[in-house]
A and B are shown apart, each in its own frame.
Chain A
Amino acid sequence: MALSGMRGLSVFISEIRNCQNKEQERLRVDKELGNIRTRFKNEKGLTPYDKKKYVWKMLYIFMLGYDVDFGHMEAVSLISAPKYPEKQVGYLVTSCLLNENHDFLRLAINTVRNDIIGRNETFQCLALTLVGNIGGREFAESLAPDVQKLLLSSSCRPLVKKKAALCLLRLFRKNPDVVNVDGWSDLMAQLLDERNLGVLTSSMSLFVALVSNNHEAYWSCLPKCVKILERLARNQDVPQEYTYYGIPSPWLQVKTMRALQYFPTVEDPNTRRSLFEVLQRILMGTDVVKNVNKNNASHAVLFEALALVMHLDAEKEMMSQCVALLGKFIAVREPNIRYLGLENMTRMLMVTDVQDIIKRHQAQIITSLKDPDISIRRRALDLLYGMCDVSNAKDIVEELLQYLGTADFTMREELALKAAILAEKFAPDLSWYVDVILQLIDKAGDFVSDDIWFRVVQFVTNNEDLQPYAALKAREYLDKPAIHETMVKVSAYLLGEYSHLLARRPGCSPKDIFVIIHEKLPTVSTPTISILLSTYAKILMHSQPPDPELQNQIWAIFSKYETCIDAEIQQRAVEYFALSKKGAALMDILAEMPKFPERESSLIKKAEDTEADTAELSAIKLRAQQQASNALVVTDQRPANEPPQVTQLGMVKIPSVDHTSVDQELTEANGNSHEVDPQPDVLGDLLSPLAIEGPPAVVSEEDALALAPVEDQQNSVKPIGDIAERFHALCIKDSGVLYEDPNVQIGIKAEWRGHQGRLVLFLGNKTTFSLTSVQAVILPPSHLKLDLSSVPEIIPPRAQVQCPLEVINLRPSRDVAVLDFSYKFGTNLVDNKLRLPAVINKFFQPIPVSAEEFFPQWRSLAGPPLKLQEVVRGVRAMSLGEMANLLNSLRLIVCPGLDPNPSNLVATTTFYSESTRAMLCLVRIETDPADRTQLRMTVASQDPTLTFELKEYIKEQLISIPIASKPPVPQPPIATSDPGALLAGLL
């Protein structure tokens, strides 16, 4: 058996190997870690040999998958050992256990530098290797000049030079400024004259990185690369040790050709001729041989040559050779070559004039779409997607649809998205597009994102000719026995809008439509029910003359849902019920949805957004990105019909996530508000119950009754909903509405992490007029650092702007930040001071604590000021369960079972602030079952202020504070800027 040369280490490894099961292994590892920990703690008597052995063991344990959370210091300290064996272990283990962001590395930076500039070549190599593998920005700034010196030195052995080249590459990647462009082009040219192929291989990698960043500076290196390539391809002066299965260093050949792809072209005719000769030789001279390694190596070179030819847009003859080769490759059995054939053919699509030749291989490519290997299937899918155009869209999309039924789950979403995009981009006629999307939903409903069905609704809404067809199709799908919920949504929506166009067909009377849709209701989820209710309202409106039986049926449903627990459904039910009794007014309000403004397809955007990150962006890819903008122009077959206000909306940034939740909270929070949707996007349009055109002011009084309280028609602007309640709700939620009045809605969305937070304020203008003189000023309490990005002075009609707000918690405090928000509506100045929900519990991170952890802590915090106790009276009436829920919602996690008395609660959390860092907080509440209005509360933490503030905060939450029922009126300016005083005014 091979032994490591260190007995202790070998014995340990053997013991681990002899463990019968994972549990034994863990025990053995834990024992060893304990042993190492003790030995490290008491460094006396620890020989360098011991240290080395333990550090190796640590690395071994780490490799087994266990966390090693100590001993890093020992590994780092070995770096400064005077002798090679220890030093080597120090360097090696450090570069495996730590990463560039680790603080300990900073401690080593001086030793590393001394080794780099020192005279000991072995130490130089160790230091260069460490920096090359895990050096970070700081290393880049302090070591780059020394590393450069070694690379350019005439006295260094090749051994050191090649390490220095790659070390510099690492530092350049961390900070491109460390290589000074002006001086470097000549030096780089010099480096490319290197005869030693090891050094040249390393230098070529460095060169690829430099040239990818800025090719202009390195034109002088181009002929040198061609020379190197010639030397290798002709096998001139290549030592035997650098040929691999008879092929002169395939790796250096590949790297050299990669470097050449970063130059836009080769202008010098001589160089160009030489290069093309070499490329021609590679293209023609690569044969398939039996030896796998030789084959792979020669094809590695061949594929790189293909990429270079494509990049150079070579002569037509050479290009057709490439296509012919690729056509051959995609038909071979050998999977790697077939894979690469497909991949490179996809790249080739970027070159003009080859589309038609590639199309000839369509059948072959479709075969690969059914290959058992997912890697090949993915390449085939990419290629089919890339080669699709108007001429073959029908065939390709149909193939994709067929394949969707059998494709594995990991690919279905991508397939569905790609099929939808192709159908949209290249539809020969729109009815085909509708067919495709409905088939897609039918076959793979789970993988069809909402974007896809929103898009089809947009198309149908905007194309009158399409409406009867779409409605008919939707009606047909409803006859199928089990349909996907997305299909229910899209059919219900389409039939609600357009089923009246089918009315004369059998089975399409309003009543029939209603019955068949209503059958689906018991099986669908809440958001879909909302859509169904809208459909019913529309059906009702379209059934003229009214059918009393149908009317009663639908009314019964509306009144049933009037008490639904879901606020959105409830609101729709109430409103539709009221509206449907209004007779003629119903016709106006429930009229067909207006056309959607033309938008860039969110699907295509989604497809563009997926980006891989690479060390160097390849030239081909760069070009692909440049061309993408041309390639993705949507065939314009739709009438452009934009309401004038839309252009302005387009300029405003609209949040792309979580509309539904914000949207729902919007309506949830104000049962009787105006229905004006502040989010002019796809989702908002479709999911909001009804879009009412025109500003609230022009709604006739009769109609307004159902929608808003009459007093809102008056001049002064009053908030909708209770501001204090909204604030309290937001203290325990992270998103929702902070403030709303007839003109404005302020939504909030927050993310908290440790002592930091990021809030986004969504300022929405609900009216069709611009809001001017918009101002948002934050009055921060002293314990918070708040940074609000600038707020635009004007919010365009029906637009929403986002203002991010960064929060840093400096120390524990219950004080609250205040947002002073004002705007002008007409001549009225509206000013509100709103408390921001950046409250103390947002900086809690709940962690459940076990009894073993809790009690020692609890005991060690003996008494005031770290542990405070208080009897609280006037507690809100709530059960113990409700109280536990309240604590949990404040992110104070109740730990059941810690307190033996069932009427007591124990809760814990971790509080984060800049001054305290993470700090454990312990809370105990003892209630009196006989008198629920009082309790005794004990709070403990390591920080007296935190203990006090937390105690007071919980108290505030437990006792009932009378909430001001009157909304605050604009305050006269208060002289002091103390937010506490402002707050007092608010309460």
Chain B
Amino acid sequence: MIRFILLQNRQGKTRLAKYYIPLEESEKHKVEYEVHRLVVNRDPKFTNFVEFRTHKVIYRRYAGLFFSLCVDITDNELAYLEGIHLFVEILDHFFSNVCELDLVFNFHKVYLILDEFILAGEFQETSKKAIIERMGELEKQE
């Protein structure tokens, strides 16, 4: 199960943080700080997996942005790693050629997309087409 998802830039600014486990505010900020420190200095030639407390973080870097998923020790690493990539493809499609600024100014949209992709810490929909169509439906209602 995904415990939390973080999207952070190299400086450690959080662009998205979604927690599927109950944490206090201060604990959330602490987790964000620790995960950033954990992944930011890792060599690109290293694995995309790193232990974090009693769990593991699966992360992937796209330009200056780190996408990190914290999952259970026994979870299938590569499946989550490609889950990150699928999410990025969806964002890329939605914002047509996504960049960090899109995510900054439209952070609320990013949360909406995420809620169509993952729920309760599990993958809800893995069809890019289905999610993009759904976002279109929602935009019409605004």
Contacts and interface: CB of A to CB of B under 8 A. Distances in A.
Interface of A: 1-5, 10, 13, 17, 56, 59-60, 62-65, 67-68, 84-85, 88-89, 92, 96, 99-101, 122, 128-129, 132-134, 136, 159, 162-163, 166-167, 169-170, 173, 197-198, 201-202, 205, 239, 241-242, 244, 249-252, 254, 258, 293, 296-297, 299-300, 303-304, 335-336, 338-340, 372-376, 378, 611-618, 620-621
Contacts, number: 202
B93 interface: no
B20 A133 contact: yes
A296 B81 contact: yes
Nearest to A343: B77
Given A101-B22, A133-B120, A375-B49, A65 B101 contact: no
B29 to A, nearest CB: 5
A375 B123 contact: no
A63 B14 contact: yes
Contacts of B115: 92, 129, 133
B87 to A, nearest CB: 12
B47 A375 contact: yes
Interface string B54-85: 11000000000000000011111111011101
A300 B79 contact: yes
B106 A2 contact: yes
Given A340-B77, A612-B54, 4 more contacts: A132-B120, A201-B125, A244-B86, A612-B72
B112 to A, nearest CB: 7
Given A84-B142, A335-B47, A2 B126 contact: no
Closest 8 CB pairs of A and B: A300-B78, A615-B1, A614-B72, A99-B22, A618-B74, A205-B122, A373-B46, A241-B127
A84 B15 CA distance: 25
A132 B123 CA distance: 12
19 contacts: A2-B101, A67-B26, A88-B138, A92-B115, A96-B17, A99-B24, A159-B134, A166-B119, A169-B120, A198-B124, A202-B124, A242-B127, A251-B82, A251-B126, A303-B78, A335-B45, A336-B81, A612-B54, A614-B75
Contact of B108 (A4, A374, A614): A4
Contacts of B54: 611-613
B134 to A, nearest CB: 7
Residue among B25, B77, B105 with the most chain A CB within 10 A?
B105
A336 B49 contact: yes
A277 to B, nearest CB: 22
A85 B142 CA distance: 5
A202 B119 contact: yes
Contacts of B120: 132-133, 166-167, 169-170, 173, 205
Contact of B77 (A84, A162, A336): A336
A343 B107 CA distance: 37
A336 B47 contact: yes
Nearest to A617: B74
A756 B95 CA distance: 53
Contact of A63 (B1, B15, B43, B48): B15
The B interface, classified by DSSP as helix, strand, loop or mixed, is: mixed
Contacts of B101: 1-2
Interface string B21-48: 0111110010010000000001101111
Contacts of A62: 25
A300 B122 contact: no
A1 B79 CA distance: 34
Interface in B92-136: 95, 101-102, 104-109, 111-112, 115, 119-130, 134
B19 to A, nearest CB: 7
A128 B119 CA distance: 9
Contacts of A166: 119-120, 122, 124
Contacts of A59: 107-108
Contacts of A250: 79, 82
Contact of B105 (A3, A132, A297): A3
Nearest to B25: A67
B124 A297 contact: no
Contact of A293 (B82, B108, B122): B82
Given A1-B101, A92-B112, A615-B1, A258 B127 contact: no
Nearest to A374: B50
B79 A251 contact: yes
A205 B78 contact: no
Contacts of B86: 244
A96 B18 contact: yes
Interface of B: 1, 13-20, 22-26, 29, 32, 42-43, 45-51, 54-55, 72-79, 81-83, 85-86, 95, 101-102, 104-109, 111-112, 115, 119-130, 134, 138, 141-142
A618 B75 CA distance: 9
Nearest to B46: A373
Nearest to B86: A244
Contacts of A67: 25-26, 29
A617 B120 CA distance: 17
Contacts of A173: 120
A101 B27 CA distance: 14
Given A133-B20, A167-B119, A375-B50, A162 B104 contact: no
A64 B11 CA distance: 12
B137 to A, nearest CB: 8
A615 B121 contact: yes
Contacts of B121: 615
Nearest to B42: A373
B20 to A, nearest CB: 6
Given A2-B95, A99-B19, A64 B14 contact: yes
Nearest to A66: B29
B43 A373 contact: yes
B132 to A, nearest CB: 10
Contact of B126 (A5, A88, A134, A198): A198
B81 A615 contact: no
A619 to B, nearest CB: 9
Contacts of A254: 76, 79
A2 B129 CA distance: 22
Given A202-B124, A297-B78, A251 B73 contact: no
B62 to A, nearest CB: 13
B119 A129 contact: yes
Contacts of B112: 88, 92
A101 to B, nearest CB: 6
B7 to A, nearest CB: 10
Contacts of B1: 614-616
Contacts of A374: 50
A258 B47 contact: no
Contacts of A258: 76
Given A85-B142, A99-B19, A65 B126 contact: no
Contacts of A3: 105
A88 B135 CA distance: 13
A241 B130 contact: yes
Contacts of B55: 612
A201 B104 contact: no
Contacts of A13: 104-105
Given A56-B108, A84-B142, A133-B119, A252 B22 contact: no
Contacts of A134: 22
A252 B16 CA distance: 26
Contacts of B108: 4, 56, 59, 89, 92
B79 A2 contact: no
A326 to B, nearest CB: 15
A201 B77 contact: no
B124 A296 contact: no
B22 A378 contact: no
Contacts of A335: 45-47
A99 B23 contact: yes
A205 B74 contact: no
A64 B22 contact: no
B66 to A, nearest CB: 15
A198 B122 contact: no
A251 B32 CA distance: 27
B79 A339 contact: no
